[in-house]
Amino acid sequence: MKIIINENMKGLLFKNGQFIKLLGAGKYRTWGGKVIEAVSLDAPLESEHCPLEVLLADPVISRETVSVEVEDKQLVLHYADGKFSGALPAGKYAFWKAGKTHEFRRVDLDSPEVDSSVPGHLFAKMPEELYTKVEVAPHQKAVLFLDCKPTKMLDAGVYYFWNTDVSVQVKKADIRLTAMTVSGQELLTKDKVTLRITFACNFRVTDPEKALTQVDDYISQLYVAVQLALREYVGSYRLDEILENKEQISQYVLEKLCAKREELFVEVADAGVKDIILPGEIREIMNTVLAAEKRAQANVITRREEVASTRSLLNTAKLMEENPTLYKLKELECLERICENVGNLQINGSGDLLTQLTALFRSGAT
């Protein structure tokens, strides 16, 4: 069998499963139980046919390679010609010199926290199973937990942690003004009417570290506090009282939430009722009552206007009775209106037209 070893490769010669020697670039033939394994000079030295220790025992291979052994709870950063090549977990490794300089930097893994001497850009060239990446946004604060113990606060930024026996957990808190809506809460009033109320509030975390370490899910706790305050208020009043004083619900709940500031480490900026939904039958009754009230108001207004109109007519009649000239002017005004609405008018009798119309008007008035 013919095998070609290129310039950037080496050959490992085995006979009957035993390593014989190292081969350089060239053309080779194998027979009689011989096997040649080609290995790259750019990759760590390893063989499918024997352990690394056997290969390193060969003087030629030992001279042409550089080896490093990584202990448990260690990581070695490998640099070739000053450039980062990769991270080496526990084990033994050998690299071909091939005109290159190799540098190995050991990293202690007793703590999962990455030392500041390890630049963040190196992690892009490492296997993801070696580390954990944590990103904290500009509007967030975070608490680092090592083995479930709070260790320190993390500001905005990107953090890397080695994957070790120590568990790493990061809890984040949003420090912006945050909106929360408690929707569709079915509550029973004092007179046993079921209401559905949607409530909204805006809050801000005042102490992120304590909120994350001393409170089990501060957002859920705040949500429950709103629910309990609504239930307490609605259960203390009748339906009519609640509808007449809707703004008092917001004030009551806000006061209850402000009292929770020291417990939940959050500050509620404002709160209010968004919607109050009545049951269908109650809504129909309310609409009927409202329609009746509006009809009654309309009747009152109509009667008031009728009385005012009658009083105005009475005053006008008294003035015309006391002042003949005013009465005469009123007659002329009525005649003018008659003439405007009549196309042809024929009157038989003596006298001029105005005199006859006036006499006709007076006879009709009497």
* pLDDT tens digits, 107-160: 999 889 998 889 999 999 999 999 999 999 999 999 999 999 999 999 999 999
Q: How far apart are CA 204 and CA 178, in angstroms?
A: 6
Give the pLDDT mean for 21-33.
88
**Summary mean pLDDT of the chain:** 86
Which pLDDT score is estimated for 191? 84
Does 80 have pLDDT greater than 90? yes
Q: Which residue has the higher pLDDT, 347 or 275?
A: 275
Which pLDDT score is estimated for 158? 94
Q: How far apart are CA 283 and CA 235, in angstroms?
A: 19
Residues facing 65 on adjacent strands: 96
Please identify which residue in the block is written with the tokens 């083995």.
Answer: 147
Tens of pLDDT along 229-280? 999 999 999 888 888 888 899 999 999 999 999 999 999 999 999 888 887 6
Which pLDDT score is estimated for 138? 95
CB contact at 8 A, 98 and 72: no
Tens of pLDDT along 323-332? 777 767 776 7
Q: Which residue has the higher pLDDT, 188 or 297?
A: 188
3-class DSSP state of 136: strand
Which pLDDT score is estimated for 361? 57
Does 161 have pLDDT greater than 70? yes
Q: In which band, very low, low, confident or very high, does the pLDDT at 92 lie, cut at 50, 70 and 90? A: very high
Q: In which band, very low, low, confident or very high, does the pLDDT at 286 lie, cut at 50, 70 and 90? A: low
Instruction: Compute the Cα dihedral for 7, 2, 57, 44 and give only its sign.
Output: positive
Does 320 have pLDDT greater than 90? no
Does 74 have pLDDT greater than 80? yes
Helix H or strand E encompassing 97? none
Q: For residue 193, count CB atoms less than 10 angstroms from its CB and return exposed for 0-12, middle for 13-18, buried for 19 or more.
A: middle
Which pLDDT score is estimated for 199? 94
Q: In which band, very low, low, confident or very high, does the pLDDT at 298 lie, cut at 50, 70 and 90? A: confident
Backbone angles phi and psi of 114, in degrees to 5: -80, 130
Which pLDDT score is estimated for 243? 83
Does 12 have pLDDT greater than 70? yes
18 Cβ partners below 8 Å, 6+ apart? none
- What CATH number matches the domain at 178-278, 3.40.190.10, 3.40.50.1820, 3.30.479.30, 3.40.50.980? 3.30.479.30
CB contact at 8 A, 86 and 44: no
Map out the domains of the chain as residue ranges: 1-107, 109-174, 178-278, 330-366
Q: Tokens for 134?
A: 């944590």
Q: How far apart are CA 310 and CA 222, in angstroms?
A: 65
Give the pLDDT mean for 12-17.
90
Tens of pLDDT along 177-219? 999 999 988 888 898 888 889 999 999 999 999 999 999 999 9
